[in-house]
């Protein structure tokens, strides 16, 4: 695994973060050392997929990067009539994702698409995953995406949303940020790397609060939602589209 040293040297001007070839090259190392619980979240995406799978269905991985969530889903699926659709708008990520996934054989088809998640149609879905992607969309585009996901899910289908979050109250907000920075230090990032990365992400990633996420789920129509994971200012939630009621035969 190639080590992430993108912000190791002082930069005259820190540019906005983007998912180019340099980032794609070191991505597995970067995400594991930066996102607390990443491994647990990816494994649980597999577990939730196993539990909520339905025959003849689509499984979406929105902002797939190198396809970790797609792979976690595919390991659990046996239905050859089902399909995984992995979407990312970074050509460098999509190119590497395709190469990476070729190494794993499976009877379940997997379609990796270079596209904006705001443009893809979502239909006949049992599971939709956005693993740390919604936070990169402009805030005004988030409601429409979550509504589209709700409409594209089958009854009984789920939306798994993992995000970096903010807290409304300043003291606890700073506390979570400090704990996250301690986590990065413990994983070998220097003060310089932490502060330059923070600057690079400032204009690009705009996290919401958990309350905003849950309100957005409800507004989109999701009958149920819960936070199932939180470590510092990182979390994962699941929103469930209610199954259709079973009508007893008279
Ligand atoms: C994982 N899910 O390893 N359309 C499509 N892709 C987008 C868009 C968009 N509008 N905006 C951002 N992306 C992965 C990790 S990384 C999270 C996801 C992170 C893509 C972007 O190109 C990148 O690959 C991904 O979303 C976010 O489980 O790096 O913090």
pLDDT of res. 109: 93
**Residues 73-121: tens digit of each pLDDT:** 999 998 999 999 999 999 999 999 999 988 888 889 999 999 999 999 9
**Residues 116-146: tens digit of each pLDDT:** 999 999 999 999 999 999 999 999 999 999 9
Rounded CA gap, 68 and 114, in Å?
16
Helix ranges restricted to H, the chain: 21-34, 38-52, 68-74, 91-102, 142-152, 170-186, 191-202, 210-220
Rounded CA gap, 58 and 119, in Å?
17
Pocket test for ligand 1, best of 28, 64, 91, 136 (most atoms within 8 A of CB): 136
Question: How far away, in angstroms, is 51 Cα from ligand 1 center?
Answer: 25
H/E stretch holding 225 reads strand 224-231
Reading the block at residue 187, the tokens are: 């994983």
Apex CA 18: angle with CA 17 and CA 20, to 5°?
135
Q: Give pTM, 2 decimals.
A: 0.95
Backbone angles phi, psi at 222, to 5 degrees: -60, 125
Please give the chain's pLDDT, 250 residues, in tens: 899 888 786 877 888 878 888 888 888 989 998 999 999 999 999 999 999 999 999 999 999 999 999 999 999 998 999 999 999 999 999 999 999 988 888 889 999 999 999 999 999 999 999 999 999 999 999 999 999 999 999 999 999 999 999 999 999 999 999 999 999 999 987 777 787 788 878 888 999 999 999 999 999 999 999 999 999 999 999 999 998 877 777 6
Reading the block at residue 197, the tokens are: 């990365």
The whole-angstrom distance between residue 188's C-alpha and the CA centroid of its chain comes to 24
Pocket test for ligand 1, best of 7, 60, 71, 88 (most atoms within 8 A of CB): 88
Question: How far away, in angstroms, is 133 Cα from ligand 1 center?
Answer: 5
């Amino acid at each position: 695994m190639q080590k992430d040293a993108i912000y190791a040297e002082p930069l005259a001007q820190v540019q906005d973060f983007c998912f180019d070839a340099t980032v794609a090259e070191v991505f597995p190392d970067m995400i594991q050392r930066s996102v607390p619980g990443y491994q647990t979240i990816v494994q649980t995406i597999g577990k939730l997929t196993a539990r909520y799978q339905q025959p003849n269905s689509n499984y979406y991985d929105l902002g797939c990067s190198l396809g970790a969530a797609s792979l976690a889903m595919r390991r659990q699926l046996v239905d050859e009539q089902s399909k995984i659709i992995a979407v990312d708008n970074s050509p460098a990520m999509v190119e590497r994702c395709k190469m990476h996934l070729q190494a794993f054989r499976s009877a379940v088809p997997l379609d990796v698409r270079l596209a904006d998640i705001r443009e893809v149609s979502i239909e006949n879905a049992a599971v939709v995953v956005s693993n740390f992607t919604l936070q990169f969309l402009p805030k005004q585009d988030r409601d429409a995406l979550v509504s589209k996901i709700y409409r594209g899910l089958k009854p009984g289908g789920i939306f798994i949303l993992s995000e970096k979050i903010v807290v409304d109250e300043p003291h606890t907000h700073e506390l979570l940020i400090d704990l996250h920075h301690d986590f990065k230090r413990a994983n070998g990032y220097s003060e310089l790397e932490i502060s330059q990365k923070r600057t690079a992400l400032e204009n690009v990633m705009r996290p919401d609060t958990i309350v905003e996420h849950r309100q957005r789920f409800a507004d989109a129509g999701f009958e149920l939602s819960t936070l199932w994971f939180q470590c510092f200012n990182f979390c994962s939630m699941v929103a469930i589209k209610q199954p259709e009621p079973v009508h007893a035969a008279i």
